[in-house]
Amino acid sequence: MEFEASFLDQVVQAVCEAGRIIVQNNDKPRSIRYKGRNDLVTDTDIAVEEDLKARLSRLLPESSFLAEETSGSAFLGDLTWVIDPVDGTTNFAHGLPMVATSVGLWSKGQIVLGVVNLPLLGEVFSAALGKGAWMNGESIRVSETRDLDQALIATGFPYAIEENIDEVLAQLRAVLPATRGVRRPGAAALDLAYVACGRYDGFYERGLNSWDTSAGVLLVGEAGGNVSRYDGSPYALGDADIMASNGHVHAGLQELVARGVS
């Protein structure tokens, strides 16, 4: 399905308008409930998701939703918005600004539009399939770093950390001494956007959901990067693990991460 350039602008505007809820609620007390020991949801998550669904429905009345808080068990249809209203809810609950809203549009087998908004950091990333990627309206590209020892890598930890602790630590033991460093902001959509704009040279994580990665995967691809699974096979939404990079360090990072895969 082809979309006019102005349509992406409308989607960006809708996502940014919903992001104002995060900004407005940032200094207010949080109402927190638990989906799991480390898996939080706040009233802000719900409010942003409902606001986005209303706005995006007006843009594409025929579309459906796969959204973390209110329709997380839905299926991808011919035209589906894939939404994470507040990626980094734990950060938000603790007053940290590394919070993202991720919106991807799935159309007949692929993500064709993606927006990652960082409302507390004042940055919005967008991409359209075959058209490129942007941050605050300016074109972005992945980094040119070619040597792993000069590469800054990001990662994340799965909610089921007890079940994955040995693998997580083994991977860190392999990646940390071989690179310039490892960062863990706690929001995968932000991590992928940072790979797309060249701040990170690579990223890997296990246990993510479709709404965590839908927009970010398109951002990285349109910015000239590489996205795969740990073993190098193509990544599909919902896969158990993901690796993204500038392309130059992909094989080396893949080799390092493989040392920790059980």
Binding residues: 68, 84, 87, 212
How far is CA 139 from each of CA 43, 124, 195, 226, rounded to the nearest angstrom? Answer: 34, 12, 14, 17
Q: What residues are designated binding site for Mg(2+)?
A: 68, 84, 87, 212
Q: Are 45 and 32 in contact (CB under 8 A)?
A: no
Distance CA(258)–CA(230), nearest Å, equals 7
- Helix, strand, coil share of the chain (percent; to 5): 35, 25, 35
Q: How far, rounded to the nearest angstrom, does the alpha carbon of residue 134 sit from its chain's CA centroid?
A: 15
3-class SS of residue 222: helix
Phi-psi region of 95 (alpha: psi -120 to 50; beta: other; left: phi over 0): left
Q: At what angle do helices 250-258 and 161-175 cross, to 10 degrees?
A: 130
